[in-house]
Amino acid sequence: MAESLVIDDFIDDDIEPVVALWTRCGLIRAWNDPSADIAFVRRQSNAAILVAHLKGRVIGSVMVGHDGHRGWLYYLAVDPAVRGQGYGRSLTQAAEQWLVARGIVKVMLMVREDNHAVHDFYRALGYFDQPRTVFAKWLDDREPTP
């Protein structure tokens, strides 16, 4: 059960195990360099990466941040070998608490449309669908990505 879980702030020693976790969980996309994403977040005052440890081993993570108005969650991951034990819920709650401590009252996240299992996970945590069209633009002249 989640009681033995320890959720800490990201440290240097977490880089390789977190990138490996994100890879195992299928969160890495060709256009996103996970090490660059980690380095970028660690330089910000309005964002953090929280890491879940179980018996000294990285088994989960979540990237959390805010734009001064709304909070956002990214890269929520739990090792497939230990899913279904409440660790994802614990990480989500820790990220929500991080936001509340900074005065943020609404959290947002994006889930790929075909990722139905994750839709169900978030609905079970009280999240609701907000139909929106998401527009994107690469500012470094890359071609559009899915």
What is the number of domains present in the chain? 1
pLDDT at residue 3 tops 70 = no
Q: Is residue 117 in a domain?
A: yes
Domain range for residue 91? 2-124
Q: Would you say how long the chain is, in residues?
A: 146
Across 128-146, average pLDDT: 88
Q: Is residue 145 in a domain?
A: no
Q: Is residue 133 in a domain?
A: no
Which is higher by pLDDT, 140 or 99? 99
Q: Is residue 138 in a domain?
A: no
Report the run of H or E that residue 123 belongs to, with start and end.
helix 116-124
Q: Is residue 22 in a domain?
A: yes
Q: Is residue 142 in a domain?
A: no
pLDDT at residue 1 tops 50 = no
DSSP, collapsed to helix, strand or coil, labels residue 105 as: coil
Q: What percent of the chain has pLDDT over 70?
A: 98
pTM of the model: 0.90
Which is higher by pLDDT, 141 or 58? 58
Concatenating the DSSP letter of every residue in 30-86 gives: TT--HHHHHHHHHT-SSEEEEEEEETTEEEEEEEEEE-SS-EEEEEEEE-GGGTTSS
Q: Is residue 140 in a domain?
A: no
Across 64-76, average pLDDT: 96
DSSP 27: -
Rg value, the chain, Cα: 15
Q: Is residue 106 in a domain?
A: yes
- Domain harbouring 35, CATH code: 3.40.630.30
